[in-house]
Amino acid sequence: MTDAFRHTVPLRQTWPDAFVARYRAAGYWRGETFPGFLRERATRFADAIAVVGGDTRWSYAQLWAEAERIAAGLLAQGLAPGDRVVVQLGNIPEFIAVVCALFRAQLVPVYALPAHRLTEVAHFARKAEASAYVCAERYETFDYRTLARDLQAEVPAVRHVFVVGDAAEFVSTAALDGARDALPGDPDPQSVAFLQISGGSTGLSKLIPRTHDDYIYSFRASNALCGIDADSVYMVALPAAHNFPMSSPGFFGALYAGARVVLSPGPGPDAAFPLIARERVTCVGLVPPLALLWADAAGKTAFDLSSLQVLQVGGAKLVPEAARRVVAGLGCTLQQVFGMAEGLVNYTRLDDADDLVLTTQGRPISTDDEVRVVDDAGAPVADGEIGHLLTRGPYTIRGYHNDDAANERAFTDDGFYRTGDMVQRLPSGHLIVQGRATDHINRAGEKISAEEIEDHLLAHPQVFDAAVVSIPDEFLGERSCAFVIPGDTKPRPAELKAWVRGRGLAAFKVPDQIVFVDAFGTTAVGKISRRELRAQLRARFLEEQKDAD
């Protein structure tokens, strides 16, 4: 989009008219919007506690007042409805207030994770054509004001920086204020409410446009499947910017229901258990390695965890044995969640038989989630056979933001999203995730594109070639391993890791392991695809490891 288009047309997702009509008629899309429902809850649940984090406890009325103050302040600073704003905040109440403020002002949040660094944040800002960046002064010892300076130097279109905490030369979010009557009305429910970040299975992350109508449907329906109502207390333990703790049912589901949201400053038992006991948390979502950690810690803790009713596990595969350990350790109802920021979310139901809960990743939210499981040629496979998962439905996007090449690859002509996951479907509709067709590493729920890391390694003067693969890991599920053919002199592994970190990337993308090899194998190198090459290197490595054991 060029500058001439900015502020004129709200971003829209393009479902064909027949689908729009169908999703409306079925009652999925009700014309609700974020500011619309938040305003209504601020009246209906005015004095109920909405958000707890650090020393802050905001009622629903206070959260809305904060959102309106910040919204008016952002417009007074010169932002205009339709502008994109990169938000990089951790699990602090201001994250929720700022995002609600952006919705209120019809500004479009673009969610970055606290772990992201300059290269990634600059990519999001460019791709989204963002004009502002919101960060915290620091979070977990990192000073984001430094990142803000580098970002503005690299992407001058980011004209505004707003900081939670000491703002230095930037504008503090606490100081924002402006005329409430300058605030716009409620947005078109089919306009894009925000841009979420994709896991990035090939190359750099893509931006995922989600509309008010589709996203609100996904967490409203999730609430029913996850047992969330006004009496619930939902804990955000994973980074709040992830789709899972945001909307499955997430803090938005909780706010929609009039429930209480408790932000844990970290995902480990040390941070979370005291808060669970104090706030009587009823539901929390975790990735598998954390769920196992919690299950072990639960047996030894003095904190009372008896309020926990539902423990959700998703983001990566929870194998049946691990699922058993989680259930035994925490003694509450396990719910498996298999979702994706692009849309489709599957849940095991709270009343599913134990066997289904332990061995499947659940079934789709909606009867209108169309699921196709197909072979390499695109032909449907029988139930029980493994195939590629394709999907289309009332909250699955039809295209990425501003990325024709990715859309060409990721969507079929009739609008199905190619998830990249390999699954088996049972006659009950439950899915079992069996792997994936794309080369990313799922490191404890964080997705890392092999290609992206290879590119950074190849930029090192002493790297002749590099291939990054996933290796099974007892704790992380998968870890990343880079096979590197060195140049004339061999760099030290620590040096290569520091190189990747120095390229301005999230720490979770630094290869866990580096293995130097002379060549990538004897089979016709150059004639096989990168994907095949990665598979061969991985297989050979695992074979050698087995022999060594």
Give me the residues that bind ligand OOB (CB under 6 A), please: 199, 243-244, 248, 314-317, 336-341, 345, 361, 419-421, 433, 436, 442, 445, 447
Nearer CB in complex with ligand OOB: 173/366:
366
Smallest gap from Cβ 314 to ligand OOB, in A, equals 4
- Residue holding tokens 């009332």? 394
Nearer CB in complex with ligand OOB: 251/338:
338
Nearer CB in complex with ligand OOB: 67/505:
505
Q: How far apart are CA 495 and CA 471, in angstroms?
A: 21
Smallest gap from Cβ 541 to ligand OOB, in A, equals 22
Q: How far apart are CA 398 and CA 342, in angstroms?
A: 9
- Decide the pairing of beta strands 463-473 and 477-486: antiparallel
Smallest gap from Cβ 411 to ligand OOB, in A, equals 15
Smallest gap from Cβ 245 to ligand OOB, in A, equals 9
67 SS3 class = helix
Smallest gap from Cβ 242 to ligand OOB, in A, equals 6
How many C-beta neighbours within 10 Å does residue 499 have? 18
Q: Cis before residue 249, ω within 30 degrees of 0?
A: yes
Nearer CB in complex with ligand OOB: 102/365:
365
Nearer CB in complex with ligand OOB: 178/314:
314
Smallest gap from Cβ 264 to ligand OOB, in A, equals 17
Contacts of residue 47, defined as CB under 8 A and 6 or more positions apart, other chains included, come to 59, 60, 61
Nearer CB in complex with ligand OOB: 178/477:
477
Contacts of residue 403, defined as CB under 8 A and 6 or more positions apart, other chains included, come to 127, 206, 207
Burial of 355 (0-12, 13-18, 19+ CB in 10 A): exposed
Smallest gap from Cβ 344 to ligand OOB, in A, equals 9
163 SS3 class = strand
521 SS3 class = coil
- Residue holding tokens 């004339």? 488
Nearer CB in complex with ligand OOB: 155/240:
240
Smallest gap from Cβ 481 to ligand OOB, in A, equals 19
Nearer CB in complex with ligand OOB: 285/491:
285
Residue nearest to ligand OOB (CB): 339
Q: Cis before residue 267, ω within 30 degrees of 0?
A: no
Burial of 501 (0-12, 13-18, 19+ CB in 10 A): middle
Q: How far apart are CA 509 and CA 394, in angstroms?
A: 33
